[in-house]
Chain A
Amino acid sequence: MILRVDPSQALPVYEQIRQQVTRMAVTGTLAPGTRLPTIRQLAADLGLAKGTVAKAYELLEQSAVVESKGHKGTFVRDVAPAADTVQAVDGLREAAEAYVVAARQWGADLDGARTALDDAWRLL
């Protein structure tokens, strides 16, 4: 469960943390119920400001990947909501649109985009 961040990248560090923790939660590397390090600990370990880690945790909580239980800490939630909920359908459509835009920017056709999606799905 190693988290890697690079402040020199264009992507903000809090977003790097959010993406990696989300990925770990979705793939099961972080099991539901796992307690994440405190903001202070993770900020110290990564040599970051506490506010940066706090913002990443806040975004993770907003996207229902983790839940904060007060002084007990921050826990990973079961991130497999029912696919037929309105929220899930909307979220999926949004992600698909973003992916289609990116695929067309890279000059991919529909088959190429589907192949890339299949590969990414299998790798996850």
Chain B
Amino acid sequence: MGWLIGGVVAVAATAALLGGVWSAERGERRGAGRGRTGFALRGYPLVIVVMVLGVLLIVPATGGGNGDSGGIDWVPAIVLAFALVLVCGALYTLGENLAGYDPDAARIAERLSGDEASRRLLTRWLQRARWRRWLGGFLGVVVGVLLMDNGGLGPVVLLGFAGIMVGSLSAELHHWRRVAGPGARAADLTRRHFGDYTVAGEQWLIGLLAAVALGVLAMEALGAEVAGGGTGGAWPWAVAALGVAAVVLAMQWRIVTRRRPALPAELRRADDLARRLAVSRGVAQPGMTLLLTLVGEALAQIGLGAIGDICQLLAVGLWIGTRRLGLDKLLRAPVAAPASTQPAAPGPASA
């Protein structure tokens, strides 16, 4: 009986409180500039506190109403309730992510631009990029788990990173469907330079990793072996790494040159910012993560296992540092001041 009551309380508490958190966040989205002060204690800590209190109150009332608690297993009831809270919370978060619910995107956009139209543009890009990236990674991990036959985490990590990459690319492919209408069109004659949108360090690392992959390919073609540990199976990894580097560069060019009609100055700056974020955080960083994994595997195949392991660790570190585009830290920054003189734009046509 105690098990049942504990479970019911846990599920009810989870649903009610996470629903409350969601409502609070939705309310905050509607009310500009308000913080999360209404929920100082939010999320799992609050759920767990209420769940434990519920178990403590309800289990004695139903199982041992006269104070005799000898027939109730308290510890399993609480542990079960705790586990159920975690499972329900995880399922709730999963559902939120699958549905593309991302209230943080609007808050990040508020910190990136002071102009309302620009915020809308950036919010749309952030929501799309973060959601596709998450979805790709999730599906990659699911496929990786299905392929994981010998207990190793290799396929999970690799396919997770590959999924993130594919998701990130699909977020940018969104623009390829756009076609111009039949009427008059206008465009700025200012040339957009590729280098203005990229981060030099990232481009160098991508180039370096591609060069290493090329070197591995050359070594294998020449039959050379390093440290006597080569297995002869490096070329698929090296070819895959070169392919990833090529796709990253091609997509970056696409993002820089994709359609942009004539826009007001404020919106043009926001569009430039969205392009820079897409080129660097959207494409280059997941590309670097996947490249490091592939090159690490290729190096391990030619007997450089230690360097390969370092590459894999760097990939995991990079993924941790760039999760959700690495922009969540902006949530602690102050909101950007509103633009004073810029007239409202009719609506973004890009990003």
Interface string of A62-73 (1 = CB under 8 A from B): 000000000001
B residues near A, CB below 8 A?
A: 179-192, 257-262
Residue numbers in A under 8 Å from B260 (CB-CB): 44-45
Which 5 residue pairs of A and B lie closest in terms of their CB atoms, listed nearest first?
A: A47-B180, A45-B187, A6-B184, A1-B189, A44-B259
Cβ–Cβ < 8 Å partners of B261 in chain A: 45-46
For chain A, the bracket of interface size reads 20 to 34
Can you name 24 A-B residue pairings with CB atoms under 8 Å?
Answer: A1-B189, A2-B186, A2-B188, A3-B186, A3-B187, A5-B185, A6-B183, A6-B185, A30-B189, A35-B191, A37-B187, A37-B189, A37-B192, A38-B191, A41-B192, A42-B187, A44-B257, A45-B187, A45-B188, A45-B259, A46-B180, A46-B187, A47-B181, A73-B191
A36 to B185, CA, bound (A): 18
- A-side contacts of B259, CB under 8 Å: 44-45, 47
Instruction: State how many angstroms separate the Cβ of B260 from the closest Cβ of chain A.
Output: 5
Q: Which residues of A contact B191 (CB under 8 A)?
A: 35-38, 41, 73
Contact call B186/A38, Cβ cutoff below 8 A: no
A41, closest chain B residue (CB): B257
Measured CA separation A5–B258 after assembly (Å):
18
Dominant secondary structure of chain B at its interface with chain A = loop
Q: Do B185 and A46 touch across chains, with their CB atoms under 8 A apart?
A: yes
Question: Contact mask A3-33 → B, CB, 8 Å, 1/0?
Answer: 1111110000000000001001000001000
Q: Which residue of A lies closest to B180 (CB)?
A: A47
Contact B189 A3 (CB under 8 A): yes
Q: How far is the CA of A62 from the CA of B113 in the complex (A)?
A: 44
Q: Is the CB of A2 within 8 A of B187?
A: yes
Please name the residue on chain A nearest to B189 by beta carbon.
A1
How far is it, in angstroms, between the C-alpha of A44 and the C-alpha of B188 when the chains are bound?
Answer: 11
Residue A114 CB within 8 A of the other chain:
no
A104 contacts the other chain (Cβ, under 8 Å)?
no
**Across-interface contacts of A7 in B (CB, < 8 A):** 182, 185
Say yes or no for A40: interface residue by CB 8 A criterion: yes
- Most chain A Cβ neighbours within 10 Å, of B189, B260, B262: B189
Contact A37 B190 (CB under 8 A): yes
The residue in chain B whose Cβ has the minimal distance to the Cβ of A35 is: B191
Q: Which residues of B contact A41 (CB under 8 A)?
A: 191-192, 257
A7-B187 Cα distance, complex, nearest whole Å: 14
